[in-house]
Amino acid sequence: MSAAKASMPERGDTGTLGKLMVLLDVVTHADGPMRFTDILAAADQPRGTLHRQLSHLVQEGLLEIDEDGRYLPGLRLLDLASRSWGRNEFRLVAEPHLKALQDLTGETVHLGVLRGTSIIYLDKFEGQQPVRMYSQIGNASPVYCTGVGKAALSILPRERAGALVGEIAFHRFTASTHTAESLLAEIEEIRKQGHAFDREEHEIGIRCVAAPIWSENLSLVGGISVTGPAYRLTMERLSEWADPVRGTAQRIMEAMRIGLGPRR
């Protein structure tokens, strides 16, 4: 199976719009521009239908074609993403608290929300000594091998968390990456502690400590984390930062309750 096809999200029968969204997912999650034949193999749609749909996406500026005839994300996607990110009230409420946590630790701070079996990063404050890592605003990371992801899972009712874990196609990124059984066991520990660790489970040499964030009705579940290189962030250091991370999460939730509560 190709990498693009492996990363495609499962969708119900949502008609033409759903098929167009699948194509956008395929192209935007690819490592580089894709040829028509690559998309055809990944999307599993009739050649004629695929050609028409790609043409519509190009006409709307959601996809572009380079000089070699390959498809890549269009500039209109950047405009839509920028507008969505800039107007995200939750991100704006969390922003000053994230910055304060970054000032305290000097390391990179993330804000992410749970979407299906992934964590979507909404914001990121780089550390004083930025380290190259996978996370970027808008990127999706697996829920089972990230601190924010595991923290978010710990907030869900056990039955719901178990069902979600059952949907995960586990991939072993490092020797520390969880299996379903070990993940469920750690989630129970996180419920008791109120914070989670990433012990180089997604990227070798990267560790974090995270705490969950959630709304009262669980319509929003996510978390925040402090992340950095393993050579600098020992487990002892991360344990020391667990309290400040939990405290920041609590302050963000209080700000959410006040700032994003029902309008009268």
Which tens digits make up the pLDDT trace of 157-167?
A: 999 999 999 99
N-to-C CA span, the chain: 52
> Do 135 and 241 reside in the same domain of the chain?
yes
Same-domain check for residues 210 and 238: yes
**Of 81, 116, 143, which residue sits at a domain end?**
81
Single out the residue in 54, 81, 108 at which a domain terminates: 81
Q: Which H or E run contains 109?
A: strand 108-115
Number of CB atoms found within 10 A of residue 31's CB: 7
Q: Which CATH number do you get for residue 50?
A: 1.10.10.10
Asked if residue 146 and residue 17 are part of one domain, the reply reads no
Q: Token pair 């999200």 is at which residue?
A: 9
* 37 plus 153 within the same structural domain: no
Examine the fold and report which residue of 40, 60, 81 is the final residue of a domain before the chain moves on. 81
Q: State the residue for tokens 């192209």.
A: 27
Range of the domain at 59: 3-81
Number of domains in the chain: 2
Q: Are residues 107 and 215 in the same domain?
A: yes
In-domain check, residue 70: yes
pLDDT at 239: 96
Whether residues 70 and 93 share a domain: the answer is no
Question: Is 45 within the bounds of a domain?
Answer: yes
Q: Does residue 235 form part of some domain?
A: yes
Q: Are residues 116 and 215 in the same domain?
A: yes
**Within a domain: 40:** yes
pTM: 0.69
149, 110: one domain: yes
Residues 99 and 185 in one domain: yes
Identify the CA nearest to 42 among candidates 24, 58, 59, 57: 24
pLDDT of 135 reads 60
Question: Which pLDDT belongs to residue 264?
Answer: 36
pLDDT by residue for the chain (264 residues), tens only, comes to 334 443 444 444 456 777 888 888 888 878 788 999 989 888 878 888 888 999 989 988 888 898 889 998 887 776 666 555 545 677 888 999 999 999 999 999 999 999 889 998 888 898 777 666 666 666 788 999 999 999 999 999 999 999 999 999 999 999 999 999 999 999 999 999 999 999 999 999 999 999 999 988 888 899 999 999 999 999 999 999 999 999 999 999 999 887 665 443
CA dist., res. 112 & res. 246, Å (int) = 15
Q: Does 47 share its domain with 153?
A: no
For position 15, what pLDDT does the model report? Answer: 65
Distance CA 151, CA 222 (A): 7
Give a yes or no: residue 264 inside a domain: no
- Asked if residue 93 is part of any domain, the answer here is yes
Tokens of 23: 């194509």
pLDDT of residue 218: 86
Same domain, 100 and 202: yes
Residues 129, 13 share a domain = no
* CATH number reported for the structural domain that contains residue 160 in this entry: 3.30.450.40
